[in-house]
Chains A and B, each alone.
Chain A
Amino acid sequence: MTALNSVRQMHPHFSSPAFFEAALFGISIIAGAFGAMLGLGGGFIIVPALTLLFGVKFRYAVGASIVSVIATSSGAAASYVKDHVTNIRAAMLLEMGTTLGALIGVLLSGFLSDRFLFLLLAAILIYSAFSMAKSRRDRHASVEESDAMAKKLKLASSYPDHFLNQEVPYGVTGVKWGLLIMLAAGVLSALLGIGSGTLKVPAMDMIMRLPIKVSSATSNFMIGVTAAASAGAYYAKGDILPILAAPIALGVIIGSWIGTRYMMKTHSLWLRKAFIAALLFVALQLCLYAWRLRS
């Protein structure tokens, strides 16, 4: 029994497909806009909204969300490449890990209970909230010289720094650990319908020593491929429902366009604080929901 069932009895409009589709559409536009503004995936909004507000089964929420992740990532891909900040080789190499992880995640999703997945999602939300709270200030020094593995793979590159007005070269290290974390990121992406950027960026930034701007752009570049690796399977399984995925994908496409077009990538402090608070609130709701599922 969901909260919305009792609401439905009170307001017959809530069982109307038109209202439902419009509601999903509206929520997705907001998710897309915030995702574009904060550089975070809209996946964090969509799965909780579908499951907590509408009582949709977890797997269908994941299916709809993962499609929206692909939409935002692919729509914005050009801007990440255009500035020559994305390290495409690193992205392809690490995508070996994320795609393999995604397939493993799809396999696991058949064995893990919804209750566990709710708690897992809550954990990731909390982790993301803390990441957002502390970030920006910690800058890890990038490496001048790549390690042996990175040299062999020719991962070292440079990126244009607008403040210094020159190309800044950087080296890369920690390839094996990076791949391992990408594997985990892929598993989580498939299980929870998220982009896993919150795992990818620290992996590239802290462990592989890529400059933060490069980590950010490369992560955004990779997210679509990671999501596609699980989306294909979910599509084949029939877990991507048109009634959900269509308005949500459309809403996110429009929302992220609005987000990039009309609002600067805002580092506005209050917006981030509000989002962090929202993340924690939603995490709490997910935990409560999971606890109720037990009984």
Chain B
Amino acid sequence: MIIPARKMELIISNVLRYGVILCGLILAVGIIMGFMEPRSSIATQLPDLLNGQRVVMIHPELSDKVILLGLFLLISLPTARVASTVILFLLEEEWIYVGITFFVLTMLIISFIFGKKL
């Protein structure tokens, strides 16, 4: 093992921390854009939302896409962490935990894929 296991976990966790900051920046940009576009979610969805209605985004503006990208990245961070942990256990030849972490990874991926049907 070139890099000890604990150090790897620390590296992964730091990647998460910087990932969060990056997502924050993307979201900030998206919000500002949302105020500048007249047909963005931010500009148009408020009345329906406050009335407790269902809100559907018919035509996502660029600001919406930017925000959704930032949110997608944010949600993917734990999945990335688990995927790295699978590799970690593979390298350590801890087969039981490869199985365990792979199960968790599968659950996370199923969530995205079957979200619509769940």
Contacts and interface: CB of A to CB of B under 8 A. Distances in A.
Contacts of A229: 107-108, 111
- A interface, by DSSP: helix, strand, loop or mixed? helix
Interface string A233-244: 111111011111
Given A74-B20, A153-B96, A242-B30, A5 B107 contact: no
Interface of A: 2, 4-5, 8, 15, 17-18, 20-21, 54-57, 60, 67, 70-71, 73-78, 80-82, 84, 88-89, 92-93, 95-96, 99-100, 102-103, 106-107, 110, 152-154, 224-225, 227-238, 240-247, 249-250, 253-254
A2 B47 CA distance: 12
B111 A228 contact: yes
Contacts of A231: 75, 111
Contacts of A81: 6, 9-10, 13
A102 B77 contact: no
A233 B13 contact: no
Given A70-B74, A70-B77, A107-B118, A250 B31 contact: yes
A29 to B, nearest CB: 12
Is the contact region of chain B dominated by helix, strand, or loop, or is it mixed? helix
20 contacts: A57-B52, A57-B54, A60-B55, A70-B74, A70-B75, A74-B78, A81-B6, A81-B13, A224-B81, A231-B75, A232-B75, A237-B118, A238-B56, A242-B57, A242-B63, A242-B67, A246-B27, A246-B70, A250-B28, A254-B24
Interface of B: 6, 9-10, 13-14, 16-17, 19-21, 23-24, 27-28, 30-31, 34-35, 41-43, 45-47, 49-57, 63-64, 67-68, 70-72, 74-79, 81-82, 85, 94, 96-97, 100-101, 103-104, 107-116, 118
B61 to A, nearest CB: 10
Given A17-B46, A228-B111, A82 B10 contact: yes
Contacts, number: 214
B97 A89 contact: yes
A242 B41 contact: yes
Contacts of B85: 88, 92
